[in-house]
Structure 1
Amino acid sequence: MSSALSVVLITKNAARQIATCLESCRFADEIVVVDSGSSDDTVTIAKSYNAKVIHQDWLGFGPQKQLAVQQARHDWVLCLDADEWLSPGLASEIKALPDNPQASAYRFPRSNKFMGRFLRHGEGYPDLSLRLFDRRRARWSDHAVHEYVIADGPVENLKGDLMHESGEDIALYLTKQNRYTDLQAQALFARGKRVGWPKLVFSPLLRFFKFYLLRQGFRDGVPGLVHISIGCFNSYIKYAKLIELHRLESKQ
């Protein structure tokens, strides 16, 4: 884009993926990496791309990303995770954006690789992600998990894909989901949210119907089925953990 652009990442032990990410956005005017204590070569690789590297102990996803945005030199920022990279089409679209665009932010589809396959349907795609924005008119929410960008002006769509390959096996993926559902349940508990058995039963069923049938997740084969099954289980276990938190509180 004509306006100066900073690419911003938060990292921890991302040496295996970060080079692909940074290679895809070499055109940016600046790269900022906020690392929360990597013990591998993440920092060394980032510096080889002339990145500005800052250490920050973990604050939660939203606060950590917003802090990273604040470290950038330019107002237009592109926020990526180390296991993501720009497809050539998306990179070309970003480079072609006009100077001082009317939009305050841009979102684009994210293509997620799961069990060796880039998902193109269901819950895995298009997974629209708002990652490119003017920090004077947009910012990250302060959520510890499932953070999102809050834009104060118009948001436009780009067509190119943001590619995502975590490289996790199912066991590691489930470990991460367990941590996410902990954080989600705790956030709901802090807001005083209560649920009963209908939410436990029907939330996963509705999720399966929406993403596997209506949005044709079945077209992604076995990976699509496993992906939505884990998503439905997450929905169930999140509310089960919330019920457990209220039960423990009542015993105090």
Structure 2
Amino acid sequence: MSARRRLSVFLIVKNEADRIDDCLASICGWADQVVVLDSGSTDGTVEIARRRGATVYQTDWPGFSAQRNRALGLVDGEWVLSIDADERVTPALRDEIDAVLSEPELDATLIKMPWRTYFFGRPLRFGRYTAPQGKLFRREGARYSTRPVHEQLLLPERRVRTLTAPLDHHSWRSYAHAQEKHLQYAMLLAQHKHAQGERASLAYACLRFFTDFIQQYVLRLGLLDGWRGFLMAVILGQYAFHKYAALRTLSEDR
């Protein structure tokens, strides 16, 4: 093995004081560079990040894609890991990343890792929130798409490798937070679809509730996660309904 390639980590945050410390504890002292791009926190997030040794920048909020592109412009590593304050790099994942980034003939440009998403105290084993995430990538030529949410990472060449060790994900503080977060994303996507000229009906919104529920609960085996799997399937069905119901309202002539 040769020396590990230089690794930068960045986070875009606002008011994450209750969970950013655990995130930074999993990367500071391991990554060569840690950048936190804050957009107006008032709860001590910035102070925690600085205390952990991260380099902190403060700015406005232009949207998810633009903010990630800003953060990408602040790092200098050959490889970049983009994570959120609700994620934790496990020791096993650190070791696996170290090994891969030390390979002399590393051919991949995008490295995915399993997502171990916790939902009310236990990790989900099935469904959308267990799919491997492309969080680690070569910086040269990389940028994020202009979608308002669920932005896509664009690379000059896309050669994917998937690791085995998990990235821990603690996305929701409570049931209310899970609903608020999905509703926020649904509204942003509805606005984006409307701007792209898409239209929807309430009948289609209702249909999408059922199809997305079935996909999560049955086809993706969420039923094997017990009541947590059922609740997540309902939330994702609601997410789809809200997205297209909001698009229907935006389509109304005013």
Task: State TM-score, norm by structure 1.
Answer: 0.93
- What CA distance in whole angstroms lies between the structure 2 residues aligned with 1:203 and 1:178? 15
Check conservation: 2:214, 2:233, Cα contact below 8 A: no
**Secondary structure at 1:194's aligned position in 2?**
coil
Number of the residue aligned with 2:58: 55
**Alignment partner of 1:208 out of 213, 220, 225:** 213
Task: Confirm or deny that 1:83 pairs with 2:83.
Answer: no
Deviations 1:176-217 (A, max 9, x none): 222111101000000000123552233222222222112210
Deviations 1:71-126 (A, max 9, x none): 0122311011011011222111101112562111111111111122211112231x
1:78-227 to structure 2, matched below 5 A, reads 78-97=81-100, 98-99=103-104, 101-125=106-130, 127-153=131-157, 154-227=159-232
Aligned residue-pair number? 248
**Secondary structure at 1:96's aligned position in 2?**
helix
Q: Which runs of 4+ in 1 moved over 3 A?
A: none
Tell me by how many angstroms 1:161 deviates: 0.8
- What CA distance in whole angstroms lies between the structure 2 residues aligned with 1:75 and 1:189? 38
Q: Give the aligned CA root-mean-square deviation in angstroms.
A: 1.6
Task: Confirm or deny that 1:70 pairs with 2:73.
Answer: yes
**Compared with structure 1, are the counterparts of its residues 86 and 143 closer, same or farther at alpha carbon in structure 2 (3 Å cutoff)?**
same
Check conservation: 1:35, 1:53, Cα contact below 8 A: yes
Deviations 1:9-33 (A, max 9, x none): 1111111111211121231101001
**Secondary structure at 1:111's aligned position in 2?**
strand
- What CA distance in whole angstroms lies between the structure 2 residues aligned with 1:9 and 1:58? 14
Number of the residue aligned with 1:6: 8
Aligned partner of 2:62: which letter?
L
Deviations 1:16-62 (A, max 9, x none): 11121112123110100100011122111111222111011111111
User: Which 5+ residue runs of structure 1 have no aligned equivalent?
Assistant: none
Task: Confirm or deny that 1:37 pairs with 2:40.
Answer: yes
Check conservation: 2:172, 2:178, Cα contact below 8 A: no
Of 182-191 and 198-207, the range deviating more from structure 2: 198-207
**Secondary structure at 1:53's aligned position in 2?**
strand
Task: State TM-score, norm by structure 2.
Answer: 0.92
Deviations 1:155-188 (A, max 9, x none): 2111111111134111122122221111010000
Aligned partner of 1:221: which letter?
G
Tell me by how many angstroms 1:226 deviates: 0.7
**Secondary structure at 2:83's aligned position in 1?**
strand
